[in-house]
Structure 1
Amino acid sequence: MGDFSTWLEHFESADTPVGELARLAAADPCWPRGPHRFHAYTEHLESGEAGAATLGALLDAWVRWASHTQAYESPRD
Structure 2
Amino acid sequence: MSSKVLTRRQALWAESLSEFHFSITYLPRRLATLPDSLSRRDDVYPESGEDFISNKPINFQQLIKQDEAQPSKYFAVKVDSF
Structures share fold, TM-score greater than 0.5: no
Provide the TM-score with structure 1 as the length reference: 0.22
TM-score, normalisation: structure 2: 0.20
- Higher RCO (CA < 8 A, seq sep 6+): 1
Larger Rg over CA atoms: 2
User: Going by fraction, where is helix more abundant, 1 or 2?
Assistant: 1
